[in-house]
Structure formats: structure tokens, C-alpha cells
Amino acid sequence: FVARLDSVSPSRIRVVATNALRQAKNANEFIKRANEILPKPIEIISGREEARLIYLGVSHTNASSDKRLVIDIGGGSTEFIIGQGFDPLLTESLQMGCVAFTKRFFADGQITKENFNRAIVAARKEVLAINGQYQKTGWSSVVGSSGTIKAVRNVLVSKGWSDEQERVTYQGVKKLEKLLIKIGDVNDIELEGVKEHRK
């Protein structure tokens, strides 16, 4: 990163850390060593600030005047943002990232219906905390902005399980769930559009 930043004026740089550094046991050690080589000190941001920045990134690369829900599944957290135009209206960060959930519910690599059900129940409990306010605010479209969502979309498109606009659907995700349970082990996942680190 430092090599890439050499050509950018420090006045145009903001170095932020998200959930990974918020949760890391060695955060202070990492920050001390990183700050020695970075042109600006690392700023650990809150989950809501992370959500706000995600929304700004989406709204500037995928312009829309619709009121929309943006979902970004990270490694340790998932951000949910309702916004319109360039303005985030609701921002929330929930502790349900893909790496954290893999370690918690599929630690042995076994993909079973029981493990899926436990993960789904835990995710529903997390979402329940924001459900009322988000439903009341409403949205007319949904955008997924993370690599995890892109990988799911790639699989659904390659299998013919997406809709005619190649979007992720509930039915497609349920088919993918059944396929993963049939595969049975994380190490045996060989699906088009899924890189090794996304398994």
C-alpha cells in the first residue's frame, strides 16, 4: 500500500481501519508498526462510519435516485445502509461477517443443514435489532457491494439460478445452500466464480 500511496499527496489520503482492526487482539502493535511507514496515521472507524463510507462509494460508482438498501458483507461485520442519492439515511454495522460466521458455524469445514440453520438463526437475531426501523424507512432496490455477494452472484449466474437480469434471488440462494450441503466440505467447493479465499 505504501508504494501505491507514494504518488498521492498526504493531504488527499485518509487511512482507516474497519472491523478487523476493531476486533484484533494485536491492534495496538499493528497500528504502531503501520504508522511508522504510512504517510498518515491509521484511524480506527466505527461500524456506522464504515457503513457511511461504503454507501458513499456505492453511490458514486452506481448512481441512482432510488431509495435503496446497500449491503456489504465483510469478514467480521456486515453493513446495512439505506440511502437516497448521495445521502445515507440509516447506517448500521452488525457482527455477522463471512469469516466470523465460517469460524463460528463451519469451523471443522463441514457444511451441514444443521450448521446452516444455526448460522441463519444467529443472522436473524442480529438483523432483528435493526429490522423495525429499516422496514419503516423502506427501500425500492437493493445493492450488494462486497466480494462475497459478487461471488454468490457469479455462481448463481453460472448455474442459471439468477433472474433474467443476472441478479441474486432468494430462490437462487436456497439452491446454492442445497448444493453446498451436498458438497459437504469447504475444501471440496469447486464452483465457477469462487476464488480459493472465498470458499
User: What are the distances in angstroms from CA 32 to CA 9, 36, 37, 47?
Assistant: 22, 7, 9, 22
> What are the pLDDT digits (tens) for 76-104?
999 999 999 999 999 999 999 999 999 99
* pLDDT above 90 for 1: no
Domain co-membership, 79 together with 125:
yes
* Residue 108 sits in the same domain as residue 121: yes
From 178, 124, 188, 184, select the one nearest 156 (Cα to Cα): 178
State whether residue 84 is helix, strand or coil: strand
Cell readout for 184 is 459437504
pTM of structure: 0.89
Asked if 165 and 187 sit in the same domain, the reply is yes
> Do residues 53 and 29 both lie within one domain?
no
| Same domain (yes/no): 137, 159 | yes
Same domain, 180 and 155: yes
Q: What is the pLDDT of residues 140-175, one digit of tens each?
A: 999 999 999 999 999 999 999 999 999 999 999 999
Q: In this structure, are 33 and 68 located in the same domain?
A: no
For 131, the domain range is 47-198
Query: What total of structural domains would you count in the chain?
Result: 2
Question: Does one domain contain both 173 and 99?
Answer: yes
Strands 42-44, 15-17: parallel, antiparallel or unpaired by DSSP?
A: parallel
